[in-house]
Chain A
Amino acid sequence: MARKNADGYLSAKESRRISRENRKVTNVFEKQRKRKNVPESEYLCEMKDISNVIEVEDLHTYFFTDVGTVKSVDGVSFSVPIGKTIGVVGESGCGKSVTSLSIMQLLQRPQGQIVSGEIRMNLGSKAYDIVKTPNEVMQHLRGNEISMIFQEPMTALNPVFRIGAQVDEVLALHNPDMSKHDVRQRSVELLDLVGIANPERVYKMYPHELSGGMRQRVVIAMALACDPKLIIADEPTTALDVTIQAQILDLLRRLKDRINSSIMLITHDLGVIAEMADYVVVMYSGRIVESGTAEEIFNNPAHPYTKGLMASKPVVGRKVDSLYSIPGKVPNPVNMPDYCYFKDRCELCVGKCAGEYPPEIKLSATHTVACYRYVDKEGETNG
């Protein structure tokens, strides 16, 4: 790991040494990835629970940067049941998006690598471990079985192609036996489905001719085109104004029920989570600090960080001079301490907090928290 000199800057020599070591590490991963004709048996796996669409277990995703290794996701485990919505909350840079990009295998390689862990994807008759799935197979899953809605609708569509061509592309790619005419018809249907008025006209338009909300609808149409089993929505409403937000969320929920898929909703907006999610995962600095059903998290938040998040949410009708904010900053991702990452900002520290990272403690069958304050209360409180 990076040793810094007195000024806090890396010397050129240090930096060179780090990038050399990084290259050594990433080359091993890249070689593994680049193999051709990987036998299916290598990435076939068994789901722990057949009612889950995806199970993430002990996922470690690191970025090997020139200033050191950033452990963006450091031992994350959660699962998404079929037909349910799971909300992932946390502040910027806590690894929400990286988790979702890991599931899609869309990390910025070669710097970003899944170092260890499993992501089991339920495909009905069989299950794949996405971490080991080679790229050619992954291309059939992406857009087809798992699809993603990105946070920036303004830039998520290619500016030089017509809307129709971009929606057609997904359909034609994953349904090679569909005729051109059918593809077109289905695209128009999809545009209609996501609530675009006059879909025939929009089909022929370019992205810049549409508003942000309309573009996000198009992105959703593309994501839903092949009836995916899992939709990852990475802050789908962040860039939109509030009225459009509500419409988009409503749309997502309706469509999810229609094709019975699951949604992994990534956001830092607790209101959105409360509205949409069945289960909630709270992330902090690349780790899950608390997870449980939406009721448990909202009615009975256990981790000090979750409590802080709840407290910093503005409440309608209550007058305050300034909104609550959690003191301090997120620790530097390059040199993570070995104690609880939240310790330096925590107002509820206990003696044990100086020790190693707290274990996961089950408060109920579904509610877990990683905090020393609950070590003795295991199973006592019920959310």
Chain B
Amino acid sequence: MRKYIIKRVLLSVLILFFVGFIIYCLMRCLPTSYIEQMARQRSMQPGSKSFEEWMAQLSATYGMDKGLILGYFGWLGNVVRGNFGDSWYFTVPVVEKFHDTVWLSFVMGFISFFFELIIAIPLGIIAATKQYSKTDYTVSIIALAGISLPTFFFASLLKLVFAVKFKWFDLYGLVGRMYDQLTPMGQLLDKANHLVLPIVTLVVCSMGGLMRYTRTNMLEVLNADYIRTARAKGLSERRVIYHHAFRNTLIPIVTIIGGTLPGLFSGALITETLYSLPGIGFTSYTAMRSGDIPFSMFYMVFLAILTLTGNLLADILYAVVDPRVRIS
């Protein structure tokens, strides 16, 4: 087991190296260049140097005068020494900016993930055990609606009903107008209040897939021979489903859950933008749009690390829930 994990980690480092390189190449090839924009701006000022001169000077300052490979190794060298550089657009250290924005997204992601699990899995199981009943059709319709509803549409709908009509929540933003006058507890509640609609949006739009996945898997398991054996033992239907069948349904679900680890940190771009929340999704989008290479590199490599970790975690969990899988 330990040998396997070490091997996987070493392999992940290698993969990461190449993933980083590909991301770096793509970032350098982006049609928007932060340096070009800066150079154009400066050259427009009266009495300034020409565009070409500014370009050459700025490229040298930002370390973009080298080729792709040398540039990548330059970046990598700094990273290995723990220096991710300063964000060009936000003009603060990359790590600091990331730290400021990621936790909001993480809290949102985590809460909605939690609700997704406790809503989607039980509903999927109930739908499977009552296949072709009214309950099953209702759950399937909800799942399908969740999958098909575009986030922006559903978010706008929620805003219209709950923010505009009922005035239960603010239309957007993370804090209300009176935030500074509130007690610490009140401040927390204020933030929570502002997060309700975004989280509802996230849960509804993402749980459909998991629900259908659980239902399909449960149906498959319920038709298995060992479920009939369990029934033949005289076990109650409850125990057959929630003990014998559920443990087997868990196996594929665990794989899915391992894959959601990067999702917790990547933020939700559309939702955050719609509700004007300063989360990582929105921030990374801004950075990307302005060609902020250090920030985008950090963000994407971080996600790559999480994806690899998530996969490794899923493989290990797989062995935990399924005794037939032994890692060696």
Q: Does B224 contact A (CB under 8 A)?
A: yes
Q: Convert A337-357 into 0s and 1s, putting 1 for each residue whose CB lies closer than 8 angstroms to a CB of B.
A: 000000000000000000000
Q: Which candidate, B112-120, B158-166, B231-239, B285-293, is the interface stretch facing chain A?
A: B231-239
Determine whether the beta carbon of B323 is less than 8 Å from that of A155.
no
Known contacts A157-B226, A160-B321; A139/B247 CB under 8 A:
no
Contact flags (1/0) for B225-245 with A, using CB distance below 8 Å?
110111111111100000010
A150-B228, A160-B323 given as contacts; is B233 within 8 A of A169 (CB)? yes
**Is there an interface contact between A158 and B248, defined as CB atoms closer than 8 Å?**
yes
Answer yes or no: B322 CB below 8 A from chain A CBs.
Answer: yes
Q: Are B234 and A155 in contact (CB under 8 A)?
A: no
Total interface residues on A, CB under 8 Å, equals 29
Complex partner residue of B247 from A148, A160, A206, A219, CB under 8 angstroms = A160
CA distance A143 to B231 in the complex (A): 9
Instruction: Decide if B322 touches A173 in the complex (CB within 8 Å).
Output: no
**B248 contact set on A, CB distance < 8 A:** 158-160
Cβ of A178 < 8 Å from any Cβ of B? no
A148 to B233, CA, bound (A): 8
A69 within 8 A of B: no
A residues less than 8 Å from B233 (CB atoms): 142-143, 147, 169-170, 173, 222
The B207-239 residues at the A interface (CB cut-off 8 A) are 224-226, 228-237
A208 in contact with B234 (CB, 8 Å): no
Give chain A nearest CB distance to B214 CB in angstroms.
Answer: 17
Q: Which of B233, B235, B236 counts the most chain A CB atoms within 10 A? A: B233
* Pairwise interchain contact A157-B229, C-beta atoms closer than 8 A: yes
B324 on the A face (CB < 8 A) = yes
Complex Cα distance, B232 from A219, in Å, reads: 11
B-contacting residues, A143-183, CB 8 Å: 143-144, 147-148, 150, 152, 155-161, 169-170, 173-174
Are B323 and A142 in contact, CB atoms less than 8 angstroms apart? no
| A89 contacts partner chain B, Cβ-Cβ < 8 Å | no
Which B residues lie within 8 Å of A148 (CB)? 232
With known contacts A141-B234, A169-B235, A170-B234, A219–B229 Cβ distance under 8 A = yes
A-B contact count (CB 8 A): 71
Cross-interface CB contact of B224 among A104, A139, A155, cutoff 8 Å: A155
Cβ contact within 8 Å between B234 and A150: no
Assuming the contacts A106-B228, A150-B228, A150-B229, asked whether A160 and B235 have C-beta atoms less than 8 A apart, the reply is no
A313 contacts the other chain (CB 8 A): no
CA separation between A139 and B231, bound complex, in Å? 8
**A142 touching B234 in the complex, CB below 8 Å, given contacts A159-B323, A208-B324:** yes
Interface of B is mostly: helix
- Please give the distance in Å from A126's CB to the nearest CB on chain B: 18
Say yes or no: A158-B232 contact (C-beta < 8 A), given A206-B323, A208-B323, A208-B324.
Answer: no
Q: A150-B228, A152-B225, A219-B229 are in contact. Are A159 and B236 (CB under 8 A)?
A: no
Chain A residues, CB < 8 A from B235: 139, 143, 169, 173
In the bound complex, do residue B234 and residue A144 qualify as a contact, i.e. CB atoms below 8 Å apart? yes
User: Do A142 and B226 form a contact, CB below 8 Å, given A159-B248, A160-B321, A161-B247?
Assistant: no
B247 neighbours in A (Cβ, 8 Å)? 158, 160-161
Given contacts A160-B247, A208-B324, contact A150 B225 (CB under 8 A): yes
Whether A140 sits at the interface, judged by CB under 8 Å, is yes
What is the chain B residue whose CB lies nearest that of A138?
B234
Partner of B234, one of A139, A157, A160: A139
* Neighbouring A residues of B237 by C-beta, 8 Å: 135
- In whole Å, how far is B143's beta carbon from the nearest beta carbon of chain A? 23
* Cβ contact of B232, chosen from A106, A152, A174, cutoff 8 A: A106
CA distance A39 to B306 in the complex (A): 60
Which B residues are CB-close (under 8 A) to A144?
234
Instruction: Known contacts A155-B225, A157-B226, A160-B247; decide if A104 and B232 are in contact (CB<8 Å).
Output: yes
Q: How far is the CB of B130 from chain A (nearest CB, A)?
A: 10
Point out which of B226, B229, B251 has the most chain A C-beta atoms below 10 A from its C-beta. Answer: B229
Smallest beta-carbon distance A67→chain B, Å: 16
- 22 A-B residue pairings within 8 Å (CB atoms): A104-B232, A106-B228, A106-B232, A138-B234, A139-B235, A139-B236, A141-B234, A142-B231, A142-B232, A142-B233, A144-B234, A147-B233, A150-B229, A156-B228, A158-B226, A158-B244, A158-B248, A159-B323, A160-B322, A169-B235, A173-B234, A222-B229
Which 8 residue pairs are nearest across A and B when measured between Cβ atoms? A142-B234, A143-B234, A155-B225, A143-B233, A158-B226, A206-B323, A148-B232, A139-B234
B residues sitting closer than 8 Å to A (CB atoms) are 224-226, 228-237, 244, 247-248, 251, 321-324
15 further A-B pairs in the complex, CB-CB below 8 A; given A143-B232, A156-B228: A106-B232, A142-B231, A150-B225, A150-B228, A150-B229, A156-B229, A158-B244, A159-B248, A159-B322, A159-B323, A160-B251, A173-B233, A206-B324, A208-B323, A219-B229
